Amino acid sequence: MKNNRLLLLLLSLLGLCVFLFTFFYQEAKREAIYNLNVQQSLHARQAARGIQDFFNHWTGILTVLSKWRHIIDLDQTGREALDSFYQANREQVRGITRVDANGRIVYTIPYDRNLIGRDISFQNHVQEVMRTRKPRSRCLHRRSGVPDRCAPCACLRERDLPGNDCRHD
């Protein structure tokens, strides 16, 4: 009888230990998952803010450039300014293209004579600018059907220029 009570006591303690272990483990697991979700949410907000700041920065710079009279007129000073801007930002800007109100390229950096006069009005971001007459802050360009990186794009309003212009990398 004494052995049965001892066995019952040991089994009861073992059961209590298993219960407490499971309870605390589940509580710790829930808290860890909650903390991980909070941390991931914070990282997502920081990443979103960083991406927004990136595009706001470039949109601001390109919009200021696009309103400069020499660039509007695309005179020698304007071309030199665009060339200098491109050279200074080559790591982040792959190219700068100016299009007229009909979506035809009038100037491009790096310069390619074969592109001048080419109609790019069929491209989605150019169509959107021509339709909305509002600046765009980013464009996703595709080459050979493969998505390329996202690029800042400042497109000018009709009232800002004789045509809708889009500078993008």
The answer as to whether 33 is a domain residue is no
Q: How confident is the model at residue 76 (pLDDT cuts 50, 70, 90)?
A: very high
**What is the model's pLDDT at position 62?**
78
Give me the number of domains the chain comprises.
1
The answer as to whether 74 is a domain residue is yes
**Cβ proximity of 85 and 167 under 8 Å:** no
CA distances from 163 to 72, 100, 133 (A): 9, 5, 10
Q: Which residue has the higher pLDDT, 162 or 102?
A: 102
**What is the model's pLDDT at position 49?**
94
3-state helix, strand, coil in the chain (%, to 5): 55, 15, 30
**What is the model's pLDDT at position 133?**
62
Q: How confident is the model at residue 161 (pLDDT cuts 50, 70, 90)?
A: very low
**What is the model's pLDDT at position 134?**
59
- Give the residue numbers spanning the domain of 106: 69-168
The SS3 call for residue 67 is: coil
Q: State pLDDT tens for residues 82-120.
A: 999 989 988 888 888 888 888 888 888 888 899 999 998
**What is the model's pLDDT at position 124?**
83
CATH code of the domain in which 119 resides: 3.30.450.20
- Kindly report the pTM of this predicted structure: 0.58
The answer as to whether 150 is a domain residue is yes
The answer as to whether 37 is a domain residue is no
The answer as to whether 92 is a domain residue is yes
Q: State pLDDT tens for residues 29-58.
A: 999 999 999 999 999 999 999 988 988 888
**What is the model's pLDDT at position 136?**
59
